[in-house]
């Protein structure tokens, strides 16, 4: 039981930081070309 609780917390803390940086780069990339087109 302790192993499942610890694994859940470690996995929940790692996913937020990883996806947070991925969307930031994707948002900045499409934003640059979008502004140039306008």
Q: Which two tokens stand for residue 2?
A: 């302790």
Q: pTM value?
A: 0.14
For the chain, how many structural domains are there in total? Answer: 1
Domain residue limits at 11: 2-37
Chain Cα centroid distance, residue 4 = 23
Per-residue pLDDT of the chain (38 residues; tens, 9 = 90+): 555 555 555 555 555 555 555 555 555 565 556 555 55
């Amino acid at each position: 039981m302790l192993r499942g609780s610890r694994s859940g917390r470690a996995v929940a803390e790692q996913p937020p930081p990883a996806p947070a940086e991925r969307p930031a780069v994707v948002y900045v990339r499409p934003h640059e070309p979008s502004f140039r087109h306008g």
